Structure formats: C-alpha cells, structure tokens
C-alpha cells in the first residue's frame, strides 16, 4: 500500500545546515525553533489544551533525503563505523520511508496576524523541515525507566571543553543582542562530537550555519576553540 500525506506545519529552526545538528533531541536545550502551522491546520483551536503539556512528539520528514535511497545495514556514527546494524535498529535518516520522530519541549503557542506558531526547545530539526503530526508526550505511558537502549547503553558521549577566540567573544556580545541564549547554545552544541569517525584523529577546522551566523571552530584534543561567529547571508533550502 502507498499513502500520501500533506505537511501540517513547517519548522523554522536555528539549524541551517545538516552538519552539527545534534543526533538526538534534547541534547542542546538552548536551541530554539518554532512550527508554523499550515492550512487547514493553521487554526488556534487545533492547539486547544496543548499548552498544558510540557513536551511534544513531532513526526517529520527528512526532506533533504527524499529520493536518495537507503541501506538495509548502516554504521552508527557513534560507534566510529566499526559495527553495522539493521536500519530499524538505528535512527539513521536514510530509511525506507524518510520519516523521523523527535521529542521536544513546548515553550509557548502564539498567534500573530492569524498565523499560529508553536515554539519549541531542544529540537534536532533542520530549518524548513516538514511536520506531519504533533502529539503530546504523556509521562505515565511514554516514560519507561527500565527500558533497554541496545548498543546505545554502552556508549559514553564525547564532551569537549569549549573556548572562544577574542574575535569570537566580541561577535558573541553583538549576537547576544538578538539571541540572548546564543553563547550557551554554542557551548552545548560544540561540546558534542559531530565529527565523522575518519576525522577524529585529525586536527581540522569545521563550519556550519546557525541562526543568522556562520560558526567556525577547530578541535584540538579535547578542546573546541570557536574561531568566528560571523553574520552570514543565509540561502534557504526547500
């Protein structure tokens, strides 16, 4: 059987590039985004009661992976490419159907000029991600304290110390006028290890786009040094 679904919303996220997006939601709590509801769901009544929940399940499309194929076996990046698992045992984005789920914190719901916006925190979603469904997180049934996490139970997250160059410090001060949480956001984001396994033994510079800025950094040992937080002209990919 085949099915056709329409997007009920579109994400406006601080993540403008796929690189450096956290591998799971909630790892970077200072990240911000909002869902712009689309017709016929752009009605404040559709969110009635949602404000009483603290977290939401989002079903979304890996829109930049549509039509690019998938593999039965994948190499989870957190295992440094050393082991293969069935795609259904991972959260890889290249899947038979390029659909993902994300658990995010609900910040607030607003209506501006008849446009309904659902503001969220801790998202792991690329800007312009299409949303298929929104459901409330229900603690008594969704939380399973003794659940098994498969290969993830044996992984320790690589955390880096994050420092800023003098230039980056000045740029952060300016950026904070628009995004007050941006320093904490960068510390949380770059404290995680986003590198492909074949780069982990190489001192290399990296860059990505977040908010309205191009973020550049270098990794040396266990330290990330932020080189530049430069305002950038962003081209939106749809």
Domains, in order of start, for the chain: 9-142 (2.40.30.70), 156-231 (3.30.2310.10)
Average confidence score pLDDT of the chain = 90
Cα–Cα distance for residue pair 197/49, rounded to 1 Å: 44
Whether residue 9 contacts residue 123, with contact meaning beta carbons closer than 8 Å, is answered with: no
Confidence label for 236 from pLDDT (cuts 50, 70 and 90):
very low
Question: How would you list the strands of the sheet with 223-231, edge to edge?
Answer: 161-164, 223-231, 213-220, 205-210
pLDDT tens for each residue of 99-137: 999 999 999 999 999 999 999 999 999 999 999 999 999
- Which pLDDT does position 15 carry in this prediction? 95
Between 193 and 139, name the one with better pLDDT: 139
17-74 tens-digit pLDDT? 988 898 889 999 999 999 999 999 999 999 999 999 999 999 999 998 888 888 899 8
Tokens standing for 139? 């603690």
- Give the tens place of pLDDT for each residue, 158-174: 689 999 999 999 999 99
Q: How many CB atoms lie within 10 A of CB 17?
A: 16
């Amino acid at each position: 059987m085949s099915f056709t679904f329409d997007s009920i919303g579109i994400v406006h996220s601080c993540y403008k590039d796929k690189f450096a997006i956290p591998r799971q939601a909630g790892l970077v709590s200072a990240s911000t985004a909002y869902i712009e509801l689309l017709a016929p769901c752009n009605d404040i009544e559709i969110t009635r009661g949602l404000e009483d929940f603290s977290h939401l399940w989002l079903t979304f499309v890996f829109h930049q992976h549509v039509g690019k194929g998938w593999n039965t076996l994948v190499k989870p990046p957190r295992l440094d490419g050393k082991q293969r698992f069935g795609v259904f045992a991972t959260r890889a984005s290249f899947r038979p159907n390029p659909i993902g789920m994300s658990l995010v914190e609900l910040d607030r719901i607003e209506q501006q000029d008849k446009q309904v916006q659902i503001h969220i925190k801790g998202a792991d979603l690329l800007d312009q991600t299409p949303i298929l469904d929104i459901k409330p997180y229900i603690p008594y049934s969704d939380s399973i304290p003794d659940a098994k996490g498969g290969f993830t139970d044996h992984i320790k997250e690589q955390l880096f110390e994050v420092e800023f160059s003098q230039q980056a410090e000045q740029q952060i001060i300016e950026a904070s006028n628009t995004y007050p949480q941006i320093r904490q956001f960068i510390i949380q984001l770059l404290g995680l290890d986003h590198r492909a396994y074949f780069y982990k033994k190489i001192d290399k510079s990296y860059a990505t786009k977040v908010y309205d800025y191009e973020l550049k950094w270098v990794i040396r040992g266990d330290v990330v040094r932020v080189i530049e937080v430069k305002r950038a002209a962003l081209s939106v990919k749809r």
